[in-house]
Amino acid sequence: MPFAHRCFACDSTSPSVPTREAAQRAAQLHRDTIHGGHIPAAGDAIEPAARLITGRVLLVICAALTLASLLLKLIAS
């Protein structure tokens, strides 16, 4: 199962990697380069990559559903 590191402070997600250990290495590299070696105050997580969804993707899904709803109302009237 692929994993990814998610930084809530940066609202960023690492590319998917094949193991949890590889995602942990990506997390540490991110902390070292972006956060001076510290864990960000907003937190971070190692998650299965299949469960990750960004805010941007969620916004696009919501917009598409809203548009579809409006089109159905327009067609029905």
Q: Model confidence over 8-57: pLDDT tens digits?
A: 999 999 999 999 999 999 999 999 999 999 999 999 999 988 665 667 78
Instruction: State the pTM of this model.
Output: 0.61
In 3D space, the residue among 17, 24, 74 whose CA is nearest the CA of residue 50 turns out to be: 17
Length of the chain measured in residues: 77
Under a CB-based contact definition with an 8 Å cutoff, are residues 41 and 31 in contact? no
Name residues whose C-beta falls within 8 Å of residue 33's C-beta, 6 or more positions apart in sequence: none
Q: What is the predicted pLDDT for the residue at 58?
A: 83
Domain boundaries, the chain: 3-76
